[in-house]
Amino acid sequence: MRIAIFASGGGSNFQAIADACRAGEIPASVVLCVASSAGAGVCDRAQTMNIPVFVVKGISDPETEELQAVLARHQVDFIALAGFMRKIPGSLVRAFENRMLNIHPALLPAFGGTGMYGSRVHEAVIAEGVSSSGATVHIVDEEYDTGPIVLQESITVLGTDTPASLAMRVLEVEHRLYPKAIDLFARKLIQIRGREVIIQPKS
């Protein structure tokens, strides 16, 4: 499986996935980094690992066509969104139907949707006073955070948590959970029936 990772920030999930692939933990390879800015930290990580970087200038039709051409040139057959701060065009979602994942720093369907990203999620979790949060890996559809859920892992929200401390602990979960979810797809252990995601046992 040939993976493109889309990211906008520092790229710690990019690193976790790429490291797992290179260690043989996932039978796949990260062949492309798609960044929303040339100044994003993920670009430095990709260049250090000799992984090509493509910077998306926008999401208009011509730019989306250019992106799809780049994905085709690198023979990408799977996409992982890792903190990518742009809405994915519907044409690309449809082209990679059930082959595009996202990770969200909360237990969807709670604390998801438009405007719920980054520190805003953790601020909302603490403000709501809920006892648990965590991370969710889900299939990408044409709306924000509404695709079928593949994996979730929860942690306890502590009375002493700040948005920053909660974010740090959730990120640790993400680094475990995202490679695990991608591995299931790489090993063809996932069946999707409508909105139901069925995980087959490893042989």
H/E run at residue 135: strand 132-139
> 149-156 and 132-139: which strand pairing?
antiparallel
Degrees, nearest 5: CA angle 45-49-55:
55
C-alpha to C-alpha distances, 122 to 40, 61, 110, 115, 149, nearest whole angstrom? 22, 34, 12, 12, 20
Inter-residue contact 6 to 30 (CB < 8 Å): no
Selecting among 104, 122, 138, 175, the annotated active-site residue is 104
Query: Environment class of residue 115 by beta-carbon count within 10 Å: exposed (0-12), middle (13-18) or buried (19+)?
Result: exposed
Q: CA Rg, the chain, in Å? A: 16
Would residue 138 show up in a list of annotated catalytic residues for this protein? no
> 78-82 and 29-35: which strand pairing?
unpaired
Q: Which residues are catalytic?
A: 104
